[in-house]
Amino acid sequence: MNMKTKSTAHTNNFTSLITILLLTAYCLLPTKTQAQSFYDIDTIQKIEITFSQANWDYILDTSKLGSDSYTMARWVKINGVQFDSAGVKYKGNSSYNPNNVKNPLHIELDYVKSQDYQGYKDIKLSNGFKDPSFVREVLAYDILRNYMQASLSNYAQVYINGQYIGLYANTEAVTKTFVDSHFFSNTNSFFFMDNFGGSLFYKGSDSTFYYTTYTMKSDYGWADLINLCNTLKNNINGIENILDVDRALWMLVYDNVLVNLDSYIGQPEHNYYIYEDHNGRFNPIVWDVNEAFGNFTNAGTGSPLTISQEQTMPPMLHSNDPPWPLVNKLLAVPMFKRMYIAHIRTIVSENFANSSYYTYSQYLQTIIDTAIQSDQNTFYTYLQFHDNLTTNVTSGPFTAPGITYLMDARSTYLNSTTEFQQVPPTISNIQPSDTFPLINSNIYITANVTNATSVFLGLRYSVMERFYRLIMYDDGLHGDGAAGDGTYGISVPVTSPEIHYYIYAENNEAGIFSPERAEHEYYTIDADYATINAGGIVINEIMAVNNTTVQNNNGQYSDWVEIYNNTADSVSLDYLNLSDDVTNPTRWQFPADVIIPPYGFLIVWADNDTSSSELHCDFKFSGSGEHAVISYSNGYVVDSISFPAQSTDITWGRYPNGTGPFVFMPPTFNATNSLSSVEELLDENGIIYIYIYPNPTNGTVSLYSTVSGLQLKIFDVLGNIIFQKTLNSKHETLNFNLPGGMYFYQLKNEQQVIKNGKIIIQ
């Protein structure tokens, strides 16, 4: 039995005894892993921006106060990697001030052309304007990632036109790339609650009522958003079909425990996204946590909260307030309320009761200590930087609570509340009857549970599916031993290579999960099933720029990939996945019962159109070059390739068919790959590939070369020139309009004849 976890390992070299002691203490905490070095917590990133204009600050201020458009930088460097023509603008509301040298920044690397740094195009940098400790944002995101999908965050030093502007928090933007990585699609309904009042309150069926409150990030979705609001108000029993309720509960719990009021639960009711996954359910994504730990005081309860009121803010805040329907409606469901309190217990015990958050805060400050001291534009003194971990810091009319001063008292208060005094069940000895079952068999999952009135198994068969709750029994009929012995069981069909599950138990007062971070974390069972040997089936041909070659059943010229069976047996693709991303190899799973006959072909259209009767995966290939991988969910790779940039209507395929190396070729859709009409030539400038197809032809041919400007002449058998043309592009379609017979062609560049050949017109 394995448990899925998301973890981060933090390592560094320290030179002082204090730092070594901090690292030793931190190493006792659960470890976590960062996904990419751009967000490596141990490394301060270096971002350099150069504008052509010396008055760049005035230009950015004017844009911010006007159209809020980007200003194009001459170049942006990230850790020494230079990008030209990036867009830059100031961002933020209260954190922005035209009198500040150090304002929040938003950089768009692909503002003019497609470019990215380690896959990231959007860079969001915040200035710590209300955080003397300078750890709030990074610390808050680090805690959040334990419980739901959330942005990576670390630090960056920013230079503009050679001037050191200061230290920033560097937080991963919530973009289509983000949702594609975490929710396996990016074209579904997607909204940002960046204005006041994004509460999901139902305003009626007219979409115009929602325009000023919600920003749509997708091409469509108003009807889906309205349906969510309507269901939340009028059909709470159906809410789990259109909202990931568990993820919503984690968001509400997080905002409440961390006193993150510049959020859904505060008066603004904003700073979160919702994205609809392919299961038709919206997923909340928290954003902008720089005022967590009590720096924003408007809870929507009247006057701003004092620090004492923040320490004792009730866990059921807004549960009786209709203007906050996500709280009011969800917590009115007894099971959801018990789940909510169970999640509060988890966050408090894992982060605050044991003071691990304080140890990590100290660790963060050791990383940025030197950068803070050299930052001449910081809003607080170096003494305030250190003090604010534990002590309230007042600057003008604003007081930033000491983080431990706030949270230690808050943890004590929450543990004293009526909700925390209720005794939840206990769950132990969770056991599958077979830890490596055969596919298409049945197993029992059992657990010892005490003090429970109901026990449930949360179950799914893929990371792309939703969990469903199934009742577990203590009746002696479900692999659970004797009736009434405290062991609960359920029979589970093994229909997939991987089973994900968790246990939830409750009584009339309280609930508990195992693992406690469910549904974000879960137990797994890997099934035993027959696999295809590597190379048994292969990616045989890929077309990523299809303009005129072949249409799918919907009449579209879409990307496609051809898969070939190299064996003399029919092969089932059950449990196999296809992806264009080696870091996310399970993007799309082949439907059940897809068979490739011996030495046969299979076409999968890569066009994100999964409604067609043909095989269509839910991603597209990039014409600028990408990967393709076929693998099982357990990580076993059957075939994996990378392909370079493609030209229009030219594929990248194996020659010889099924076994050979990849070359550019004319498309051989669902057929044996052939190079009979492809020439590889060598001239003084290196290799030139030339493709003339089809040949023989009915009079129309496509001619492709890796260079442009070639001169083509067609001769009859007597040597007369009957057609000539300068090929200004690398790919041209030509109609000779000649009678059937044999003709000769000549291709030359400015220096020499590089090819003579013949064309047969049928």
Sign of CA dihedral 581, 586, 588, 594: positive
- Of the ranges 454-458, 579-583, 726-730, 744-748, which one carries the lowest mean pLDDT score? 726-730
What is the spatial distance between Cα 289 and Cα 266, in angstroms, rounded to a whole number?
12
Band the pLDDT of 283: cuts 50, 70, 90: very high
Angle at 179 between CA 175 and CA 183, to 5 degrees: 175
Find all residues with CB under 8 Å of 397, minimum gap 6, and list them.
none
What is the spatial distance between Cα 471 and Cα 455, in angstroms, rounded to a whole number?
6
- Three-state DSSP string of 660-713: CCEEEECCCCCCCCCCCCEEEEEECCEEEEEEEECCCECCEEEEEECCCCEEEE
Task: Examine residue 656 and say whether the peptide bond preceding it is cis (omega within 30 degrees of 0).
Answer: yes
What is the spatial distance between Cα 80 and Cα 78, in angstroms, rounded to a whole number?
5
CATH code of the domain occupying 537-665: 2.60.40.1260
Q: What are the residue boundaries of the structural domains of the chain, listed by start?
A: 38-388+398-416, 426-525, 537-665, 678-761
Domains 426-525 and 537-665 share a fold: yes
CATH 3.40.190.10 fits 426-525, yes or no: no
- Render the burial of 178-199: b for 16+ CB within 10 Å, e for the rest: bbbbbbbbbbbbbbbbbeebbb
CA distances from 744 to 98, 741, 755 (A): 71, 10, 11
Band the pLDDT of 738: cuts 50, 70, 90: confident
**Predicted structure pTM score:** 0.80
What is the spatial distance between Cα 64 and Cα 747, in angstroms, rounded to a whole number?
56
What is the spatial distance between Cα 634 and Cα 229, in angstroms, rounded to a whole number?
38
What per-residue confidence (pLDDT) applies to 22? 40
- pLDDT over 70 for what percent of the chain? 91
CATH 3.30.70.1140 fits 678-761, yes or no: no
Read off the pLDDT of residues 83-101 as tens digits, 9 standing for 90 and up.
999 999 999 888 999 999 9
* Cβ atoms within 10 Å of 574's Cβ, excluding its own: 20
Query: With 80 as the cut, is the pLDDT of residue 35 above it?
Result: no
Read off the pLDDT of residues 613-648 as tens digits, 9 standing for 90 and up.
789 988 889 888 889 999 988 888 999 999 988 888
What per-residue confidence (pLDDT) applies to 731? 66
Find all residues with CB under 8 Å of 587, minimum gap 6, and list them.
184, 577, 578, 579, 580, 581, 617, 618, 619
